[in-house]
Amino acid sequence: MQRLKDNEAGSVKMVGMVVGILVTLIIAVLIFYNIAASIDTSTIDSELTGTPAANASGDTLDQAATFFTIAPILAIVIVAVVIIGYVTRM
């Protein structure tokens, strides 16, 4: 454990990982909402009884909105853990 605690390269890699996660999250949000907006549910639902495609699309968008709201909080917690870990080593 002492070896990991004194490893400066590990701290740099952790910060790089958090930045990578945030960039990936931003790209994922852009890709998801562009794809979701391009789905024409009215054409799909015209051949079905009711509106199952519109319902499924709406439910997926609701779940994605919840996830994309919580995900940055996770990144903030990771950054806080890294900062607290760095401060306690001093």
Q: Cα separation of 68 and 65, whole Å?
A: 5
pLDDT in tens, 51-68: 888 888 888 888 888 888
**Domain layout of the chain by residue ranges:** 2-89
- The answer to whether the predicted template modeling score (pTM) of the entire model surpasses 0.85 is no
pLDDT in tens, 16-44: 777 888 888 889 888 988 888 888 888 87
What per-residue string of b and e applies to 21-34 under the rule 16 or more CB within 10 Å gives b? ebeebeeeeeeeee
pLDDT in tens, 73-84: 887 888 888 778
